[in-house]
Chain A
Amino acid sequence: MTDYLLLLVGTVLVNNFVLVKFLGLCPFMGVSSKTETAIGMSYATTFVMTLASLLSYLVKTYVLSPLGLDYLTTMTFILVIAVVVQFTEMVVHKTSANLYRSLGIFLPLITTNCAVLGVALLNMYEQHNFLESIIYGFSAALGFSLVLIMFSAMREKLANADVPTPFKGSAIAMITAGLMSLAFMGFTGLVKF
């Protein structure tokens, strides 16, 4: 039990996918201008990452490995992720047309979100079992959501703040992201693996 909890906290804070592993930076910069959109993106990504790590574990363990097709892992994982993203897109479109529109291109782009493929592959390399895989996927998404929402809240404030002209717009966003990353580095050593 403690292991699972440690895995969760460790993935959310210490080995944060965005700010420590630098995965999934594209939506991190892209959909963080409004908190509302960021929250929507967080839900979608959480759903995709959890489901993708679950499915990829199943496919890897029960289909590919027994048949000795491990060399097909990456390809199959991409297939799995693409399907899950498509599915998510349909669900989002059905349930929240506004969110669907404001996420725009970033919703289908979850497919190419390296964090998603990253979590599936890392699951494999770390040799997580079924439950660990799910927790790892979920907590990675949780970490992603946490920093995305925090970042978007800051960017909303920055939009109205009197930022010096050379730093306006993306520049100050990058600096903010960098500072956030530095701050998250401070969690190193919190959990010993």
Chain B
Amino acid sequence: MESVIERIDKGLFWKFHGGIHPPQMKFLTSDKPILQLPLPEKLVIPIQQHIGEAGEVIVNVGDDVVKGQPLTRSTLPISVPIHAPTSGKITAIENATIAHPSGLEELCIKLIPDGKDTWCERTICPEYQQLSKAEIIEKICNAGISGMGGAGFPTHIKVGTTAQINYLIINASECEPYITADDLLIKEHSSAILDGINILDHLLEPAFILIGIEDNKPEAIKALQNATQGIDKIKVCVLPTQYPVGGEKQLIMALTGTEVPSGVLPTSLGIVMQNIATCFAIADAVIHDTPLIKRVVTVSGQALEKPQNVWALLGTPVEFLLNECGYPQQEKKHIIMGGPMMGFSLPNNQVPIVKTTNCILAPSEAEIPNDNQEVECIRCGQCAEVCPSQLLPQELQWSAKAKDHQQLDTLNLFDCIECGACAYVCPSHIPLVHYYRVAKAEIRQQQLLDLKAEKAKVRFEARKLRLEREKLAREAKHKKAAEARKARMNSGTPEANNEKSAVAAALARVKAKKAQASAEPTNSANPSDDASSEKKSQVAAAIARAKAKKLAAKDNNSIAEKPPAEINPVIIDEKIEEKQTLDPAEAKKAKIAAAIEKAKAKKLTTEAKSSTSSEIKTETVTAPSPADAKKAKIAAAVAKAKAKKQQAEQKKEIQLSANEDITSSIKDEPIAEAVTDKKARIAAAVAKAKAKKQQTESK
């Protein structure tokens, strides 16, 4: 560590790989003071201006707000609030075009200034050393400070690190052409910046503070050297001008000779880097209790009459700044936000200034490259020579074009800082960075999709498990119910007999109802009914079988039947769960009926695969005794017909014979008892309905 400082003291620095020397073009604005602007007519404040999550809006349309009043509240750790840049009325909270290359709309708060510029209540706190670290960090967070260099990472997270910090690096090497915002800020506010650096020193307690500044800003260097005179801990490091020395990893390399490995945060190497403008904002926030509501923006480019740096309120539309700097109404509008190397074209001039906007560029026709057509790569390798991340730009380009994401990953695409050096030197005018940006977005999207697919899979599996569990639980319940019923039937008490006949009546009723019901919905062309009607037919078949079984049981007991008319009507729905409303006796009956119904339905579904076996079962179940053999026969016939029908349904053929079978079997029994007769008629009706339904289905 000592050797690093010794080297710095000697004015020696490391060299990072690559880099270029584009024309500086800083003279356009570097000699003019930062201009204070009048209030714009309206402000459009995007609620998310940093990396992370957006805060929660805490004001309403129509509210009067004062300058510095928070408009959102940070709910998550990686979120900072935004504040009203001036006093005024909130006219809308709606989507508006934001400062993003996509030109997409996101939620913004629209504020019409009232012109009074009334401040909210503030408490000046020059003795920040008295505050605890947590209090200072909270102040920084509440002031809405996020990195002002470009990425916009919330500052309170960066300074809240508990790691041992060797070097606090203050990034004042504004390396992109045209931009002079930090340069001017240092010239005019070096003492406030020093306050900010001291606050960071207090928070992070680094061994050394290194201010990295390029040698093309002599006045700013002088100002910093004057401000830090006599402080041994702070070293003003004057670096040779080279683009992109202002990149985080590049500056760390240049100052300390440490290469930050891919995927590693500098914090874990004991290094924290802060932008110089962020230092100024921190001083403002901690000492003057002023939230981040304005910033220095370089408005430059040769299309402007008076390019200069301005103090812009966050949310000021770009158009207002351009007009203040004398933007002529020219045909080909082309405004760039950010520097010429890393910036992006704006979709329109209403886009607001945000916390990370350091430059607005209005290039003249001459400055815009005259439609340089992209031509084939000639494999000159210049791009690889200038890449500050030591990547292979042309390999990346091919893989990006071929959408070979795996290869891109192997080539470490995500270590690309999109500095644009490769595109700058490319003799074939290949916009290399654009290909990388597209590929990065695609990979991120793919990762999101993969994540979603993984989640969907988990949920699908969970659902399958749940259904399986429910099925098992239901089966267990039915088994229990069936056993209980069997026990009661075998007991032979009068109640049991009553119950049995009640069950019979209920079944008959259900069948009748179903015969009606199934006839109706099948006529309607609703496709969703297919499944349910199929289920119904299974249920009906099951009922028939249940009847046969019951009859056989009755024969064994040889007990006279009660006419079904005497029994209270029982309503059976397809869903047993909904039957809780019936009175206890009925509920019991209904439950038994439903249980039989379900058990049979289930059995049938498994049996449906081999309906012959179901037939055999039905026959064995019937077990006719000589006395009531007729009844049993009818029942068996019905059941058989049903089984046949089941078969027919599977083959999706029309099976009208089922209907005929039933009628003929009924005709063969002229001496049937009244009850049996009724039952048979019901069964026939059911069968008819089924046949009809089949017809419609097959159509």
Whether chain A touches chain B in the assembled complex (some CB pair under 8 Å):
yes
B407 cross-chain contacts in A, Cβ below 8 A: 160
Interface centre among A157, A160, A161, A162 (most CB of B within 10 A): A160
In the assembly, what is the distance between CA of A160 and CA of B435, in Å? 14
B125 cross-chain contacts in A, Cβ below 8 A: none
Instruction: Determine whether the beta carbon of A162 is less than 8 Å from that of B399.
Output: no
Q: Does A159 contact B (CB under 8 A)?
A: yes
Which parts of B396-448 form the interface with A (CB within 8 Å)? 398-399, 401-402, 404, 407
A selection of 12 A-B contacts at a CB cut-off of 8 Å is A159-B402, A160-B398, A160-B399, A160-B401, A160-B402, A160-B404, A160-B407, A161-B398, A162-B376, A162-B377, A162-B398, A162-B401
A160 cross-chain contacts in B, Cβ below 8 A: 398-399, 401-402, 404, 407
Considering the complex, give the chain A residue whose CB is closest to the CB of B377: A162
Extra 8 A-B pairs, beta carbons < 8 Å, given A162-B376, A162-B398: A157-B398, A159-B402, A160-B398, A160-B402, A160-B407, A161-B398, A162-B377, A162-B401
> What distance in Å separates the Cβ of A36 from its nearest Cβ neighbour in chain B?
11
Considering the complex, give the chain A residue whose CB is closest to the CB of B397: A160
Which parts of A117-164 form the interface with B (CB within 8 Å)? 157, 159-162
In the assembly, what is the distance between CA of A161 and CA of B376, in Å? 10
B404 cross-chain contacts in A, Cβ below 8 A: 160
Considering the complex, give the chain A residue whose CB is closest to the CB of B401: A160
Interface residues, chain B, CB within 8 Å of chain A? 376-377, 398-399, 401-402, 404, 407
In the assembly, what is the distance between CA of A130 and CA of B241, in Å? 70
In the assembly, what is the distance between CA of A74 and CA of B402, in Å? 47
B402 cross-chain contacts in A, Cβ below 8 A: 159-160
> What distance in Å separates the Cβ of B401 from its nearest Cβ neighbour in chain A?
7
B399 cross-chain contacts in A, Cβ below 8 A: 160
In the assembly, what is the distance between CA of A160 and CA of B410, in Å? 15
> What distance in Å separates the Cβ of B559 from its nearest Cβ neighbour in chain A?
68
> What distance in Å separates the Cβ of B435 from its nearest Cβ neighbour in chain A?
12
B376 cross-chain contacts in A, Cβ below 8 A: 162
A157 cross-chain contacts in B, Cβ below 8 A: 398
A159 cross-chain contacts in B, Cβ below 8 A: 402
Which parts of A153-185 form the interface with B (CB within 8 Å)? 157, 159-162
A161 cross-chain contacts in B, Cβ below 8 A: 398
In the assembly, what is the distance between CA of A157 and CA of B376, in Å? 16
In the assembly, what is the distance between CA of A72 and CA of B404, in Å? 51
Considering the complex, give the chain A residue whose CB is closest to the CB of B379: A161
Please give me the 4 A-B residue pairs with the lowest Cβ-Cβ distance, nearest first. A160-B398, A160-B402, A162-B376, A160-B399
In the assembly, what is the distance between CA of A161 and CA of B402, in Å? 9
In the assembly, what is the distance between CA of A162 and CA of B376, in Å? 8
> What distance in Å separates the Cβ of A153 from its nearest Cβ neighbour in chain B?
13
> What distance in Å separates the Cβ of A159 from its nearest Cβ neighbour in chain B?
7
> What distance in Å separates the Cβ of B405 from its nearest Cβ neighbour in chain A?
12
In the assembly, what is the distance between CA of A160 and CA of B439, in Å? 14
In the assembly, what is the distance between CA of A9 and CA of B376, in Å? 40
Considering the complex, give the chain B residue whose CB is closest to the CB of A161: B398
In the assembly, what is the distance between CA of A162 and CA of B394, in Å? 12
In the assembly, what is the distance between CA of A160 and CA of B402, in Å? 6
> What distance in Å separates the Cβ of A171 from its nearest Cβ neighbour in chain B?
18
> What distance in Å separates the Cβ of A148 from its nearest Cβ neighbour in chain B?
20
> What distance in Å separates the Cβ of B381 from its nearest Cβ neighbour in chain A?
15
In the assembly, what is the distance between CA of A10 and CA of B376, in Å? 41
In the assembly, what is the distance between CA of A157 and CA of B407, in Å? 11
Considering the complex, give the chain B residue whose CB is closest to the CB of A162: B376
B377 cross-chain contacts in A, Cβ below 8 A: 162
In the assembly, what is the distance between CA of A161 and CA of B377, in Å? 9
In the assembly, what is the distance between CA of A161 and CA of B378, in Å? 11
> What distance in Å separates the Cβ of B213 from its nearest Cβ neighbour in chain A?
42
In the assembly, what is the distance between CA of A132 and CA of B520, in Å? 88
Considering the complex, give the chain B residue whose CB is closest to the CB of A164: B376
In the assembly, what is the distance between CA of A159 and CA of B402, in Å? 8
In the assembly, what is the distance between CA of A157 and CA of B404, in Å? 11
B398 cross-chain contacts in A, Cβ below 8 A: 157, 160-162
In the assembly, what is the distance between CA of A159 and CA of B376, in Å? 15
In the assembly, what is the distance between CA of A100 and CA of B475, in Å? 45
In the assembly, what is the distance between CA of A159 and CA of B404, in Å? 10
In the assembly, what is the distance between CA of A124 and CA of B404, in Å? 47
> What distance in Å separates the Cβ of A104 from its nearest Cβ neighbour in chain B?
21
> What distance in Å separates the Cβ of A123 from its nearest Cβ neighbour in chain B?
41
Considering the complex, give the chain B residue whose CB is closest to the CB of A159: B402
In the assembly, what is the distance between CA of A69 and CA of B376, in Å? 64
In the assembly, what is the distance between CA of A157 and CA of B394, in Å? 12
Considering the complex, give the chain B residue whose CB is closest to the CB of A156: B407
In the assembly, what is the distance between CA of A160 and CA of B399, in Å? 6
Considering the complex, give the chain B residue whose CB is closest to the CB of A157: B398
Considering the complex, give the chain A residue whose CB is closest to the CB of B400: A160
> What distance in Å separates the Cβ of A37 from its nearest Cβ neighbour in chain B?
14
> What distance in Å separates the Cβ of A152 from its nearest Cβ neighbour in chain B?
14
In the assembly, what is the distance between CA of A159 and CA of B399, in Å? 9
In the assembly, what is the distance between CA of A162 and CA of B400, in Å? 12
In the assembly, what is the distance between CA of A162 and CA of B430, in Å? 13
In the assembly, what is the distance between CA of A159 and CA of B398, in Å? 9
B401 cross-chain contacts in A, Cβ below 8 A: 160, 162
In the assembly, what is the distance between CA of A159 and CA of B377, in Å? 15
> What distance in Å separates the Cβ of B426 from its nearest Cβ neighbour in chain A?
14
In the assembly, what is the distance between CA of A159 and CA of B407, in Å? 12
> What distance in Å separates the Cβ of A53 from its nearest Cβ neighbour in chain B?
37
In the assembly, what is the distance between CA of A159 and CA of B406, in Å? 14
> What distance in Å separates the Cβ of B438 from its nearest Cβ neighbour in chain A?
15
In the assembly, what is the distance between CA of A87 and CA of B286, in Å? 76
In the assembly, what is the distance between CA of A162 and CA of B375, in Å? 11
> What distance in Å separates the Cβ of A160 from its nearest Cβ neighbour in chain B?
4
> What distance in Å separates the Cβ of A167 from its nearest Cβ neighbour in chain B?
14
> What distance in Å separates the Cβ of B237 from its nearest Cβ neighbour in chain A?
42
In the assembly, what is the distance between CA of A162 and CA of B399, in Å? 11
> What distance in Å separates the Cβ of B387 from its nearest Cβ neighbour in chain A?
19
> What distance in Å separates the Cβ of B398 from its nearest Cβ neighbour in chain A?
4
Considering the complex, give the chain A residue whose CB is closest to the CB of B404: A160
In the assembly, what is the distance between CA of A52 and CA of B362, in Å? 74
| Complex interface bits, A27-51 against B, C-beta within 8 A gives 1, otherwise 0 | 0000000000000000000000000
In the assembly, what is the distance between CA of A157 and CA of B399, in Å? 9
In the assembly, what is the distance between CA of A162 and CA of B398, in Å? 8
In the assembly, what is the distance between CA of A161 and CA of B407, in Å? 14
In the assembly, what is the distance between CA of A160 and CA of B405, in Å? 12
In the assembly, what is the distance between CA of A186 and CA of B681, in Å? 99
Considering the complex, give the chain A residue whose CB is closest to the CB of B403: A160
> What distance in Å separates the Cβ of B439 from its nearest Cβ neighbour in chain A?
12
> What distance in Å separates the Cβ of A61 from its nearest Cβ neighbour in chain B?
49
A162 cross-chain contacts in B, Cβ below 8 A: 376-377, 398, 401
> What distance in Å separates the Cβ of B430 from its nearest Cβ neighbour in chain A?
11
> What distance in Å separates the Cβ of B305 from its nearest Cβ neighbour in chain A?
44
> What distance in Å separates the Cβ of B595 from its nearest Cβ neighbour in chain A?
49
> What distance in Å separates the Cβ of A157 from its nearest Cβ neighbour in chain B?
8
In the assembly, what is the distance between CA of A95 and CA of B407, in Å? 26
